[in-house]
Amino acid sequence: MWLCVVWLGGAATRCSTQDEPKTLVLELYEDDKPMNQFCKGVMQSLANGSETPSQVATDFDAWVVNESSRRLRKHLEQPDHIQKSEDGSVLRTRTPNASGYVDHFFQAFPSLCSVFSPYHAGQTRVIQFLEALMAMPEHQAPDSFSEDGEVRLMSLWSNTGYATEYFRIGADAISHSGSGLETPGSEQEVRWRNYQSTIARITLTGFSNCGFISGLRDILPHGKKYPSLNISSSSGPQRIGGFIQGAAQWVIWPDEGRYVYQQCKKKEKVDKKNPREIWSTENWEIWKTQFQLFADEGRIDSRAREVASLAVDKMKEIEEQTHS
């Protein structure tokens, strides 16, 4: 498959530090269709900072509204163009399809989330773009037709939960078995840290709740006994550093750490019947104990040990601040 690759910061050179931006790879936009070219341009603008996040958000919103409105006018002018399935519903490809434009963009949006290191200016642009969308006055775009031919409208940016599954797919693309995440110092290790930091910040905005794909889940012990180096995501202390660095992004930063603590205090234990539940007082204590074990374990690479030690300190600080 041909890949659209955007090299950041000039020439395509190998990154020498963990904080240099990674390559933005846009696999979905592999042809010259106007829809793909527009989405690619939005991604590039956010990556290179050629436009402000607010302007990019305005342009993206206008594109969704204008394109779906254009399709609506076409269908109203040519009613015979509307096709229905056997059950009487109108085919999505024959509708104004505002939701389809939104989905098409956010399918690739997670690719941006692994590019920049925590709190890099580029990462902050990504967050500000979503915040700018959410700050827009509530408005609608034409999306579909009812069985009677009435136009159904889609509210834009007023609801939470956008792109949740796309963020999960993006996480799997980095952390799947054999990806290289278990290799200390690998690009995938850095991307996983970056990705976890970004989705933690996205969760705080309220745009999409990514808690169920938090890297903190990866460091839970595989079994009831803890602390333990036998975690569900990997085997062997020499190969878990990337998971530790990713998990720590949810607790080493002030806002993220307070958010996690506040969520965990709402419930003593997670509901085992709900695999997406993660926040609980019990898990907070387990994570703190796990991080301490990682910090003291000499077989874990030094970067992971350092961030694990920092995670313990920050978690204790949050507890002290809350109870003072």
- Spatial contact of 126 and 116, defined as CB atoms under 8 Å apart: yes
pLDDT of residue 7: 38
Q: How far apart are CA 115 and CA 137, in angstroms?
A: 30
pLDDT of residue 16: 43
pLDDT of residue 76: 83
State the helix-helix crossing angle for 241-248 and 281-296, rounded to 10 degrees: 130
Q: How far apart are CA 213 and CA 168, in angstroms?
A: 6
Buried b / exposed e over 169-188, threshold 16 CB at 10 Å, is ebbebbbeeebebbebeebb
Residue 121: what residue type? A
pLDDT of residue 47: 96
Reading the block at residue 155, the tokens are 């509210």
CA nearest 281: which of 317, 319, 309? 319
Locate tokens 């070219």: which residue? 37
Count Cα neighbours of 89 within 13 Å in the Cβ-side half-sphere: 6
pLDDT of residue 28: 76
Q: List the beta strands (DSSP E) in the chain.
A: 4-6, 24-26, 139-145, 151-156
- Distance from chain centroid for Cα 293: 28
pTM of the model: 0.90
pLDDT of residue 11: 31
- Distance from chain centroid for Cα 43: 14
Q: How far apart are CA 30 and CA 5, in angstroms?
A: 10
Q: Please give the DSSP secondary-structure letter assigned to residue 300.
A: S
CA nearest 249: which of 225, 271, 216? 216
Q: How far apart are CA 283 and CA 214, in angstroms?
A: 13
Q: How far apart are CA 303 and CA 181, in angstroms?
A: 14
Residue 23: what residue type? T
pLDDT of residue 85: 57
CB proximity list for 116: less than 8 A, separation 6 or greater: 21, 22, 122, 123, 126, 194, 198
pLDDT of residue 14: 36
Whether residue 227 is preceded by a cis peptide bond, meaning omega within 30 degrees of 0, is: yes
DSSP 211-247: GGG-GGGGGSBSSS--S-S-BTT-SSGGG-HHHHHHH
Low pLDDT (below 70) residues in the chain: 1-17, 79-93, 232-235
DSSP 243-285: HHHHHHTTTSSHHHHHHHHHHHTT-SS--TT-TT----HHHHH
CA nearest 79: which of 11, 30, 172, 148? 148
